[in-house]
Amino acid sequence: MPKTNTLLSAAVAVAGCMILFGAPPHACADIELHEKLTLSGWVDFNYVKWNRSEGASDDRDFGLTEVELNLALDLSEKVKGRIDISFNRNGTDINGEEDFDGDIEVATITYIVTDELSLSGGKFLSFMGWEAFDLINLYQFSGGGPQNAYIENGIGYPAFQNGVRATYATDMFSVGASYVDDVWGPTARSTDYDVKDEGFEAMAKLTAIDNFTLFLGYAQQDGDGSGGPKDSQYYNAWASYKFKDLLVALEYVTEEDLGVTGITEDGDAWLAMANYTFTDWLAVTLRYTDDDRENAATNAETANNYSYAIAPIFTISDNLGMIIEYKHTEDRMTNASDTDQFAVELTLTF
């Protein structure tokens, strides 16, 4: 089926379902566009209020923030594909209307060599990080995306990369390696220096013990070799354990010689999280994060922050969820700057 017809079919299927049955998109879940192609995704709407100290202005955000469409291709027993298209609100246009930017987050073709071994190529998400990139897989409101759990513009996870990867997975463990054009993708951490040399990622995950997972990850990004940044190193380790209705997780991240806003920095960060499910419609997450960074050349401190959050999670229906979160962030370098954030998020999945 031609690509244009496929995307048109997706739009017609969603719109037709809404018109014919008077239903929102989530009521028409698991849309099958073709015997080898299915559509899923989500719509995210939220209200966020920030209260800042030391004379800084308070701020708020209210409205539709993201629409994502996920296309899964089952081309054959051995060949699978995936395309994720995300539309994110990017302020307003010259007419004052909300401006949404579309981006192909993921576009991969995977060849299944055996039940355990697979090879993929294209644009995919980094192995690194306890927290999911996509908001529908988070245990609270804040986090996800390039910001993840830690302070904005602080230590982060790599996100989407172009390259090739191999993964080997069993019930006991999994290992993987990626060869990519840039570990950090198109972010300030690399483009400040026009770093276009290749990068490498490797991971190992232990799942042999029931309800316990241990992850170890490493990434290296080559410098440009012309007086610019050095080769950067990135290490990520996390562990999670689920006991009945309680899930706990710990994570540690460290990075060396990473390019940020015109300099290279070294940094460390860690996270502790607990999520408890009270009923089939209510769970609560508690999370603490801490990060500090310094100039790699002078060892001068450039950031030192911590935050804590509490987030009740409500399951309204199979396709509709709500998160209410309070988060406090404090800057230790100033001993004065802090932010209180209150958020309400509604997410519709289909």
pLDDT, residue 1, reads 40
pLDDT at 258: 76
Closest by CA position to 216, among listed 246, 251, 190: 251
- CB proximity list for 133: less than 8 A, separation 6 or greater: 125, 144, 145, 148, 157, 159
What's the pLDDT score for residue 246? Answer: 98
Rounded CA separation 184/186 (Å): 7
- The pLDDT of residue 74: 95
Q: Which CATH superfamily is domain 36-349 in?
A: Porin (2.40.160.10)
Which residues of the chain form beta strands (DSSP E)? 31-34, 37-52, 59-74, 79-92, 98-112, 117-125, 160-169, 173-180, 199-206, 212-221, 232-243, 246-260, 263-277, 282-295, 301-317, 320-331, 338-349
Give the pLDDT score at 198: 84
Residue 139 near residue 311, CB atoms below 8 Å: yes
pLDDT for position 169: 98
Q: What is the pLDDT of residue 2?
A: 39
Domains of the chain, by residue range, sit at: 1-35, 36-349
What pLDDT is stored for residue 262 in this prediction?
60
Residue pair 289/277 in contact by the 8 Å Cβ criterion:
no
The runs of H, that is alpha helices, within the chain are 3-21, 188-191
Quote the pTM value.
0.84
- Residue 137 to residue 285: CA distance in whole angstroms: 13
Distance CA 147, CA 203 (A): 21
Q: What is the pLDDT of residue 232?
A: 84
Q: What are the mean pLDDT values of the chain's consecutive 10-residue runs (350 residues total)?
A: 40 36 41 88 94 73 92 96 91 62 92 98 95 91 70 73 96 97 66 61 97 97 59 93 97 84 80 97 96 86 90 96 95 79 95
